[in-house]
Amino acid sequence: MNFGTFGPSTCTVLAAEQRVRRAMNEDFSRFFEAHLDAGSVRKRLNAVAGFLDAAVDDIVWLSGTTEAMNVVARGLALPPGAEILTHDHEHPAGVYPWLYRAQHGDVSVRQLHYPTGSGTAEEVLQFFTDSIGPATRVLSFSHVNYTDGSVLPVAAICRMACERGVITVVDGAQAPGMLRVSVRDLGCDIYATSLHKWTSGIYGSGALFVRPQLRDKLDPLIVETFHGFSEKTRFGERSAPADLDFRREWPCAMRRMSGLFTYAGPQLAGTLAAINEFETVGLEVVERETGRLGDRLREGLQSIAGITLHTPAAMAAGITSFEVAGLDPSQVARRLREDINVVGRVIDHSPVGFKAIRLCTHVFNTENIVDRVLERVESLV
Ligand SMILES: Cc1ncc(COP(=O)(O)O)c(C=O)c1O
């Protein structure tokens, strides 16, 4: 029950990855031509874009949220003195890239103390609204907190930020595969995500959505064949065959921001198979099941004396975080793993008063396993 960290892939997904990896090894040149030609890149990325309800031109294929957040924090053009607003329940990948940028002097980062225990979306919206200051240019926050599992009111926060001229950067690592995600409906400027967690794609799979108006404000981290250079820039005057520029027809954001796509074929093939599996089951079914099993777990935990539940019921979905009185969360994690073979994760933000065991309920889990967790936790109290 640790899909929030890594989601193991099904055999079908692994076989799809393996087929492409084999083709890549058998004849790389042929693979390269088939894999990287504009039409097939567009077609495959279209499936990723569709999963996030984005336009294909606005999507970049990357290795996960950490890479995507680095692309954004390192590359986003901001006026000198700009303030990045974030909070202390963000994942390191949502904070360190901004802190690194701030070390170089042109921006500052203000980390708010997230109001854990906020029971409602309205309270969280109010918290962000009250926190925006005159220098705030970016609001960087998660769609689903990896700590307490709260699903944030992203659309309302983005609307509020947009009215104040603040760019919204959403860390969506925990959402796709647990919730139906529509970046269109969320209205965010940037959405960084992982496809190897709840979506159970191949490890090293993720995507970045960038609103077209910001595309040119994001400097690429890795510069390669394209990026506005021409054959003339490199070799001087000479006529070069037009088809040398294999990226010309790639989706726009890919052209600017994807440096290492050449080697991503196997990951992409496997992850597309995972997306296909989810879409076959139905994203609404997945969302309903993750929430239903989560509710069963949370209701069960609430009925056990000595449990502190950190996940607010009104903002909950597939993540449940809790503590058992008198036990360190790592002891609870060890008991669940060794006694009933359930893997959870300890989330330790002790310096700001949060340490809990986190369990993820997914469509792959059953009521039976949730009930076994409840029995074992009750016996620990
Ligand atoms: C909220 C959040 N952001 C970012 C990450 C890092 O994601 P990735 O492993 O795809 O780089 C995680 C991983 O757990 C996360 O929970």
CA 285 to chain centre: 20
Please indicate, yes or no, whether residues 111 and 97 belong to a single structural domain of this protein: yes
Dump pLDDT digits (tens) for 57-105. 999 999 999 999 999 999 999 999 999 999 999 999 999 999 999 998 8
70 lines ligand 1 (CB under 6 A): no
Looking at the domain assignment, is residue 5 inside a domain?
Answer: no
Among 261, 278, 295, residue at a domain's last position: 278
Mean pLDDT of the chain: 94
Paired tokens of 90: 């963000």
Task: Kindly tell me the sign of the dihedral angle through the C-alpha atoms of 317, 318, 321, 322.
Answer: positive
Looking at the domain assignment, is residue 337 inside a domain?
Answer: yes
Looking at the domain assignment, is residue 3 inside a domain?
Answer: no
Dump pLDDT digits (tens) for 107-154. 999 999 999 877 899 999 999 999 999 999 999 999 999 999 999 999
Looking at the domain assignment, is residue 253 inside a domain?
Answer: yes
Q: Whose CA is nearest to atom 16 of ligand 1?
A: 146
Among 278, 300, 326, residue at a domain's last position: 278
Query: How far is it, in rounded angstroms, from Cα 102 to Cα 46?
Result: 35
91 lines ligand 1 (CB under 6 A): yes
Dump pLDDT digits (tens) for 328-349. 999 999 999 999 999 999 999 9
Please indicate, yes or no, whether residues 52 and 165 belong to a single structural domain of this protein: yes
Q: What is the value of pTM for the model shown?
A: 0.95
CA 84 to chain centre: 19
289 lines ligand 1 (CB under 6 A): no
Q: Work out which ligand 1 atom sits closest to the CA atom of 145.
A: 1
Looking at the domain assignment, is residue 342 inside a domain?
Answer: yes
Residue among 141, 194, 199 to mutate when testing ligand 1 (max atoms within 8 A of CB): 194
Q: What is the mean pLDDT of residues 272-286?
A: 97
Query: How far is it, in rounded angstroms, from Cα 257 to Cα 215?
Result: 9
Query: How far is it, in rounded angstroms, from Cα 266 to Cα 19?
Result: 8
Query: How far is it, in rounded angstroms, from Cα 26 to Cα 22?
Result: 6
Residue among 6, 60, 66, 95 to mutate when testing ligand 1 (max atoms within 8 A of CB): 66
Strand 136-142 versus strand 59-62 pairing type: unpaired
271 lines ligand 1 (CB under 6 A): no
Please say if the pLDDT value at position 236 is more than 90: no
3 lines ligand 1 (CB under 6 A): no
Among 278, 310, 335, residue at a domain's last position: 278
Q: Please tell me the predicted confidence (pLDDT) of residue 54.
A: 98
Q: Work out which ligand 1 atom sits closest to the CA atom of 90.
A: 1
pLDDT-above-70 percentage for the chain: 95
According to DSSP, the residues that pair with 112 across neighbouring strands are: 87
Please indicate, yes or no, whether residues 293 and 230 belong to a single structural domain of this protein: no
Please indicate, yes or no, whether residues 194 and 237 belong to a single structural domain of this protein: yes
**Which residues span the domain enclosing 129?**
11-278
Paired tokens of 186: 């969320």
Q: What is the mean pLDDT of residues 146-163?
A: 98
